[in-house]
Amino acid sequence: MSKAIKIRKGIDIKLLGEAEQKISASNASKVYALKPADFFGVIPKLTVKEGEEVKAGTPLFYDKKREDILFTSPVSGEVVEIKRGDKRRILEVKILADSEIQYKSFTPWSGGGDRETLVKLMLEMGLWPFIIQRPYGVVASPKDTPRDIFISTFDSAPLAPPTSFLLQEEKAHFQNGIDALRQLTKGKVFLGVKSGEDFFKDIKGVEANDISGPHPAGNVGVLIHHVKPINKGEIIWTVKAADVALIGRSLKSGKFDASRLVALTGSEVQAPQYYKTRLGAGINSIVEGKISGDHVRCISGNVLTGLRVAADGFLGFYDTQITVIPEGDHKQFFLTEGWLGPGFDKFSLSKAFPTWLMPKKKYRLDTNMNGEPRAFVVTGELDSVFPFDIYPMQLIKSIMINDIDSMENLGIYEVIAEDFALCEFVCTSKIDIQVVVKKGLEDMRNEFAS
C-alpha cells in the first residue's frame, strides 16, 4: 500500500544558476574516461592495455573480488591512457573516441526469459554497476536476491535537474527498465514520487509513494526509511531513475547506450541549460566557453555530494548534473564579509543574519568553509536536517572510534554517505562527515566479509 510521506527535517539551499529547460548538443568530447573511484568498494582489475581498440560495451576492467561485474566502455575508440596514482592505483581509463560510435552487439532483451539469463546479459553489457546495494552502498552482488528495490524519481539537491524533464523522451525505456528490475527481486519495486508529480503515475509494476518536504526528501534513503526500513541481515537494491531508463534502453537495443542528458548549472554559468552527452565525457566539452569567471570550481554532481573535477576532468558515472560555483579561497575581512559583517548575502540556518527574513532569496555561494575544523561538540544542528529515526552525531562518533557494536545499534546499515550531506553542510565543527561515513561503511563491510 502506497504512502504519503511528509518530510519536515531538512533544508532547501536555493542557489543561483538553475538550468533553463532547453536542450543543446554538447561539443563532441574527444576523450572519455571511466573512473574506478566512482564505484565505492570496487578494486579494479584491467582487461585492456594502452593502444588497444575497443567498442562501446567492451569491458575495461572488472571487480577483483567479484570478477563477473564488468565495467564497460561508453564509446568506441583507442585506449590512450591508463592513469595511475600512488601505489599504481588506477585513477582513469581514457578512450580516444571514434567520430562514429561502434557498438559491441548483445542479445536484446524482449521482456521474457528467466532471471539468470537477464542477470548474465546485464553483467556482460556493463549495466550491473548501476545497481547499488544497501547496506554499504556498494555495487550489488549478482549472487544476491534483494528483499526489495527502491527508486527515487526526483532529486531535491541544490539545482538538481527534474527527472521528469531528463526522461521526457525516455518513459518507455524507463518502463522497460522497471520490468527488468522486477525480475531481479521476489519483493516489490518501490518508487518515490514528488508530491504533485504526474509523470510517473502510469508506470506499471511498482508501488508509488508521494514524498514532500525539503531536501533530502528526494534521497532514496528517505524513501527506504519511511516505507520499509532495512534490518540487519537484509539486502535491498537502489537504482537512480535516469539509470533505470538507460538500463531499459540498452536492454531493448542490445547495445550499451551510454548517452546522457546533463544539466549545466551554477551561478558562474552564463546560460545554464541541458546538454546531450555520454557517460565519462570530458567536462570541457560541456563547460568550455560557457563560464563567466576564471576562478571557479567545477563539480560533477551537486554541491553537496558531487566531486570536484579539473578542467580536463570527466563526468562521473552516475551524474546528470555539472555545477559551477565561485572558488572560495579568498580572505574575508571580519568586519565586512566575516562573522561581524551585516550578512545580507549570507545563507544561514539560524537567525544570525537578516537573510532569514527573505526565504525566497537565491544565493551565489562559494566554496569557503567559513571556519576551520574544531572540536566536535553537541549542538543539535545535525538532528534538525536529518529526517531519520537515527542519532546522527552519536553514529558519526561511533564510526570515528570504530565501535562496531555501536555502529550497528545506531543504524549504520540504513545509511550511506549522501544521507549525511546536509549534516556536513550545517556542521559548525567542519567535520568531513561523508568521508567519515564512507570509512565506517568500509570498516563494517570488511568486518563481516564472508
pLDDT one-digit tens code per residue, 260-278: 999 999 999 999 999 999 9
Evaluate the CA torsion angle 388, 391, 397, 403 in order and state its sign: negative
Q: What is the largest CA-CA distance in the chain?
A: 69
Averaged pLDDT of the chain = 93
Q: pLDDT tens across 382-422, in order?
A: 999 999 999 999 999 999 999 999 999 999 999 999 999 99
Model confidence at 450: pLDDT above 60: no
| Percentage of the chain modeled with pLDDT above 70 | 95
pLDDT value of residue 346: 74
What cell does 20 get? 533553463
Q: pLDDT tens across 274-317, in order?
A: 999 999 999 999 999 999 988 899 999 999 999 999 989 999 99
How many CA atoms lie less than 13 Å away from 316 in the CB half-sphere?
Answer: 23
Model confidence at 337: pLDDT above 90: no
How many CA atoms lie less than 13 Å away from 4 in the CB half-sphere?
Answer: 3
- pLDDT, average across residues 356-370: 80
d(CA 95, CA 280): 10
Q: Is the distance from CB of 170 to CB of 249 less than 8 angstroms? A: yes
Q: pLDDT tens across 178-219, in order?
A: 999 999 999 999 999 999 999 999 999 999 999 999 999 999
In the block, residue with C-alpha cell 540556518: 349
Report the alpha-carbon angle 360-302-322, nearest 5: 110
In DSSP terms, 59 is beta-bridged to 72
Read out DSSP for 36-48? GGGSTT--EEE--
Q: 40, exposed or middle or buried, with CB in 10 Å at 0-12, 13-18, 19+?
A: middle
pLDDT value of residue 4: 93
Alpha carbon distances (Å) from 50 to 79, 81, 83, 124, 331: 5, 6, 10, 22, 44
In DSSP terms, 298 is beta-bridged to 309, 324
Residues ≥6 apart with Cβ < 8 Å to 445: 41, 135, 136, 138
Alpha carbon distances (Å) from 172 to 106, 164, 179, 199: 20, 13, 11, 12
Least confident of 9-18, 162-171, 345-354: 345-354
HEC per residue, 75-130: CCEEEEEEEECHHHCEEEEEEEECCCCCECCCCCCCCCCCHHHHHHHHHHHCCHHH
Model confidence at 370: pLDDT above 90: no
pLDDT value of residue 339: 59
pLDDT value of residue 273: 97
**Chain-centre distance for alpha carbon 100:** 29
